[in-house]
Structure 1
Amino acid sequence: MENIDWVTTPAAIWRRHRAGLRAIRRLDPVQWENLKGIDRQKQALARNTERFLAGEPSNNVLLWGARGTGKSSLIKALLNRYQGEGLRMIEVDKDDLVNLPEIVDDLCDLRFRFVIFCDDLSFDVGESGYKALKSVLEGSLELPPENVRVFATSNRRHLMPEFMSDNLRGERHDGELHPAEAIEEQLSLADRFGLQLSFYAFSQDVYLQAIDALFPDFPDRETLHREAIQFATSRGVRNGRTAQQFFRHFSV
């Protein structure tokens, strides 16, 4: 297991075959101010993170919604923005969540503030990895450490698949709807994220704002926008990921 020097290392990743953490050598350089069209989400996430860094009450965070709309990029930019203030980040894959309690045990006595980052998190029927996540989110007999929070991204609002049959199993007693156990299980996990931020597909105006941020010095805006719109049309989607792909395609 690699010995992480958190003074000089802003982020690490859990590697199953090593049974330990490995320092991330090349951080994504995405910058906070370059993320366009998600100002509401940025403001809420920044406020929650600043409270966490200050030792004030703060929430675990779930960023959910349409693919390619900036959820993961916002978490990466968050680290770049706040690492100088003591923020550290550990990325843990969904399949490794069973190790989460042991990871957290090694962090609770350190002076830094840690975000456990779970990217593209979701669970299928029958998976049990979410149980370890639940204990870290709210604790069990032992409270979770004050210097650790979980920030997760997902395309699913409740992190689990939702089926029409689940709703049909619900019951009504004395005029009140009682959800089926499957729905209760879905909500019980998502509810542990006190801050939930939704992300939606970009309008054309927001998409072009993202394009302009990637090409600040491009002289011909009309040509740039026309090419960017054609590129998005060919992809069938307008979002931040499409803007990045257009940048790699079109930039000289």
Structure 2
Amino acid sequence: MTKPHNRLLTRIAEALERIAPPAPEPVDWLACPAYVWTGHGARGVDRLEAPSLDHMRGIDLPKAAVVDNVMRLASGAAAHDMLLWGSRGMGKSAVLRAAVNAANAVHPGRIALVQALPDATLPLLFGQLRTVPRQFLVFLDDLGFDTGDTEGARLLRSWLEGGVEARPANVRLAVTSNRRAIVERHMAEQDDPINPRDVVDDRLALADRFGLSLGFHACSQDDYLAIIEGYCAAMDLAFTPGDALEWSRRRGGRSGRVAWQYVTELAGRAGKQLD
């Protein structure tokens, strides 16, 4: 006869099994052009949405550098980790997605973009990707560390250069940030009497770990109009510079994102749908 306390333990164990989350499904790292890392598994993205590279104007130099580096990675050649920094809305993440699409057009299925967070689960992702016969660009979007967050910056330096949990040979990191130093700095640090240069250098050292550090600067009026012209030409939309500039004034600035929002407005006015 089963003892009462054994029956109770059995019921508790069965209840825990019912409420426990199911084990994550195995990830097919060869099936999709992009993935989102959830911390314990990944979700495949069947189609990587990105504008055409030809339509992305006003960022010609950094765009060319990103495309060339991603193409190298897809081909199996030596490639850099990348830091894309600068003004908001200037296409930092969009150009990464577009570059991966362009690389897969030349080298079908050879590279995938993996969006992740810079947390303690990133080494688990590296462990899964290490044995996959494919190249990966791990994408950390809009990264920034607060002044007191030394652990996050230290981990990122370790992942980039030779730490025990460094990213594997078939993986490169692409980080976007609004500031080059990534870690927030204050002018007061330069007046610190205790090793002031060391404080500043330590915060800049993280940016120096990237083989490519590319600035995406606020666009001029001419660049802003050129971006709109590129989109409108591809979509057969008409616009006037005065209307486009008025839109930017109402939005409080000029950027690639503001230009795209204006193009969306034009398409809506014309009764057209954007792909």
> Normalized against structure 1, the TM-score is what?
0.87
**Residues 187-231 of structure 1: CA distance to partner in whole angstroms, max 9, x if unpaired?**
22111111000011111111111111221154755xx32211110
Q: Does structure 1 residue 78 correspond to structure 2 residue 94?
A: no
CA shift for structure 1 position 246:
0.7
Q: What residue is the counterpart of 2:178 in the other structure? A: 155
1:98 to 1:59, Cα distance in 2 relative to 1, 3 A: same
CA shift for structure 1 position 186:
1.1
Candidates 44, 54, 59, aligned match of 2:80: 59
**Residue type of the partner of 2:128?**
D
CA distance in 1, matches of 2:165, 2:116: 22
Q: What residue is the counterpart of 2:15 in the other structure? A: none
Give yes or no for contact 2:80–2:211 (8 Å, CA) kept in 1.
Answer: yes
**Residue type of the partner of 1:82?**
A
CA distance in 2, matches of 1:123, 1:144: 20
Candidates 261, 267, 272, aligned match of 1:245: 261
Q: What residue is the counterpart of 1:184 in the other structure? A: 201
More moved, 107-116 vs 126-135: 126-135
CA distance in 2, matches of 1:170, 1:147: 44
Flag structure 2 segments of 5+ consecutive residues without an equivalent: 1-23, 271-275
Provide the aligned C-alpha RMSD in A: 2.0
CA shift for structure 1 position 124:
0.4
Which structure has the bigger radius of gyration? 2
**Residue type of the partner of 1:248?**
T
CA distance in 1, matches of 2:48, 2:225: 26
| Identity value in percent | 35
CA shift for structure 1 position 26:
4.8
SS of 1:58 mapped into structure 2: coil
CA distance in 1, matches of 2:203, 2:252: 31
Q: What residue is the counterpart of 1:2 in the other structure? A: 25
CA distance in 1, matches of 2:43, 2:183: 29
Q: What residue is the counterpart of 2:51 in the other structure? A: 30
CA shift for structure 1 position 93:
2.4
Q: What residue is the counterpart of 1:174 in the other structure? A: none
CA shift for structure 1 position 28:
1.7
Question: Equivalences for 1:60-209 in 2 at 5 Å?
Answer: 60-84=81-105, 85=107, 86-94=110-118, 97-127=119-149, 128-141=151-164, 144-169=167-192, 179-209=196-226
**Residue type of the partner of 1:116?**
V
Give yes or no for contact 2:33–2:46 (8 Å, CA) kept in 1.
Answer: no
CA distance in 2, matches of 1:142, 1:6: 20
Flag structure 1 segments of 5+ consecutive residues without an equivalent: 172-177
CA distance in 1, matches of 2:237, 2:81: 43
1:50 to 1:218, Cα distance in 2 relative to 1, 3 A: closer
**Residues 106-134 of structure 1: CA distance to partner in whole angstroms, max 9, x if unpaired?**
11111111011011011002222233322
Q: How many residues align?
A: 240
1:78 to 1:142, Cα distance in 2 relative to 1, 3 A: same
> Normalized against structure 2, the TM-score is what?
0.80
Give yes or no for contact 2:158–2:164 (8 Å, CA) kept in 1.
Answer: no
CA distance in 2, matches of 1:155, 1:4: 32
